[in-house]
Amino acid sequence: MRGRLRICAALAAILTCAGPAAALDLRDLPVIPGPVPCPSKGQGFVRLPGSDSCVRVSGRVVAGADVGTVHGVAAAPAVAGRIAIDNRADTDLGEVRTYVRIGAGRR
C-alpha cells in the first residue's frame, strides 16, 4: 500500500513540474529540401547536402528457424543482417569510393 502511495505521489510531482505544453507553429519552421538523387553514380545514390559526395545506404535482414532435434532442441532461431554504406566523390584525380559493409549472424 505504501509503495503505491509513493508511486502516485512521484507521478503527481512529475506532472505538476512539467508545466503546460506549448503548440508549435509549423509555418515558422525552415523548409529543408529532400534528398537530391545522383543518377550518374547509380541507382539509390543521393547527394550529401553541401558537398560533392553521393552516398547509398542499403542492407538486409533474414530470420528463420533451423528445425531439427539436436541435443533436445527442437528449433533454433537463426537471424542474420548486414548494412552497407557506399560513398562516392569526384576529385581532381578521379572518382574516390569508400565502401563499408558490416554483417552479423550465421546465414
Query: pLDDT tens digit string along 32-71?
Result: 777 889 988 889 999 988 888 999 999 999 888 777 666 6
Q: Which three cell numbers stand for residue 34?
A: 529532400
Residue with the bigger pLDDT between 23 and 89: it is 89
Residue with the bigger pLDDT between 92 and 105: it is 92
CB-based contact 81:70 (threshold 8 Å): no
How far from 59 is each of 38, 39, 88, 94, 102, CA to CA, in Å?
Answer: 19, 20, 18, 27, 9
Q: How many domains does the chain have?
A: 1
Indicate whether 17 belongs to any domain: no
Measured distance CA(66)–CA(79) in Å, rounded? 10
Average pLDDT, the chain: 79
- What's this model's pTM, rounded to 2 decimal places? 0.56
DSSP reduced 3-state for 99: strand
The residue segments making up the domain with residue 86 are: 26-105
Indicate whether 74 belongs to any domain: yes
% of the chain with per-residue pLDDT over 90? 27
